[in-house]
Amino acid sequence: MLKGSIILLIIALIAGIFGFFSIVAAAAGIARLLFYIFLVVFIISLFTGRRGRSM
């Protein structure tokens, strides 16, 4: 899950770069929203991925 959230975070960053520089003005809002969603998912994955296994 951590690997997937990192990939989605990178995709959101790339989409954000294109959107924030007005290459595609309509995509800026979507890219900003996706960036924040994936950032939250990434942070949650960091905390849940560090837990040790209970044996």
Residue 22 lies in a domain: yes
Question: Do 2 and 49 contact (CB within 8 A), yes or no?
Answer: yes
Count of the separate structural domains present in the chain? 1
The domain in which residue 39 lies consists of 2-47
Report H helices in the chain. 2-20, 27-49
Mean pLDDT of the residues in the chain: 76
* 0.85 exceeded by pTM: no
Give 4-18 pLDDT, tens digit per residue: 888 888 888 887 777
* 14 in any annotated domain: yes
Does residue 26 carry a pLDDT above 80? no
Residue 6 lies in a domain: yes
CB of 19 closer than 8 Å to CB of 32: yes
